[in-house]
């Protein structure tokens, strides 16, 4: 009971889901300044236990700040990204399986509070990456992929 003295809040685990592709990684990610961890560029990784959320779905929109770093070792490129996004509540936080931070192509982010988790056909957020990853395609202004001389 002492861990969450405000009974209007509940602790919820956070997971990172990346949709970039291969050839890129996420060495660091944060939600409202709290470290989520690292992840490959495709699939699930990282995690944090826990963030405090209202025990009920807020009536007013709620936003969080997501910050992350992308690193492409094949071209020695490290970029920092930050955005403030709304939290999508599919269920009350206390009934959820967690908070899912999706890092999407175009250096975008989405945050979902849901039951079930990504990978389920009933998950309301972006589809969980499956199968072999496509190679990350650089955006304009990013370093080009090296070409092979074969």
User: Per-residue pLDDT tens for 52-91?
Assistant: 999 999 999 999 999 999 999 999 999 999 999 999 999 9
Neighbour tally for 145: CB within 10 Å = 14
Give the HSE-up count for residue 97: Cα atoms under 13 Å, Cβ half-sphere.
12
Q: Is the pLDDT of residue 150 over 70?
A: no
Question: Which runs of E-coded beta strand occur in the chain?
Answer: 9-19, 25-31, 34-40, 42-54, 63-72, 77-89, 98-104, 108-114
What CA–CA distance (Å, rounded) separates 25 from 27?
6
| Banded model confidence at residue 7, pLDDT cuts 50, 70, 90 | confident
What's phi and psi for 101, nearest 5 deg? Answer: -100, 115
Give the CA angle between residues 68, 69, 75 to the nearest 5°.
Answer: 155
Alpha-carbon span 60 to 89, nearest angstrom: 12
The mean pLDDT of the chain is 94
- The pLDDT value given to residue 27: 97
Which residues, in sequence order, are bridge partners of residue 86?
63
> In the predicted model, what is the mean pLDDT of residues 37-50?
94
């Amino acid at each position: 009971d002492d861990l969450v003295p405000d009974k209007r809040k509940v602790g919820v685990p956070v997971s990172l889901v990346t949709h970039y592709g291969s050839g890129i990684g996420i060495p660091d990610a944060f939600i409202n300044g709290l470290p989520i961890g690292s992840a490959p560029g495709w699939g699930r990784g990282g995690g944090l236990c826990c963030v405090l959320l209202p025990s009920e779905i807020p009536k007013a929109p709620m936003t969080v700040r997501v910050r992350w770093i992308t690193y492409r070792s094949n071209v020695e490129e490290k970029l920092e990204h930050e955005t403030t996004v709304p939290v999508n509540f599919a269920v009350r936080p206390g009934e959820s399986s967690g908070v899912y931070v999706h890092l999407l192509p175009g250096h975008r982010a989405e945050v979902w509070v849901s039951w079930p988790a990504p990978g389920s056909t009933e998950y309301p957020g972006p589809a969980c990456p499956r199968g072999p990853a496509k190679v990350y395609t650089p955006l304009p202004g990013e370093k080009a992929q090296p070409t092979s001389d074969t």
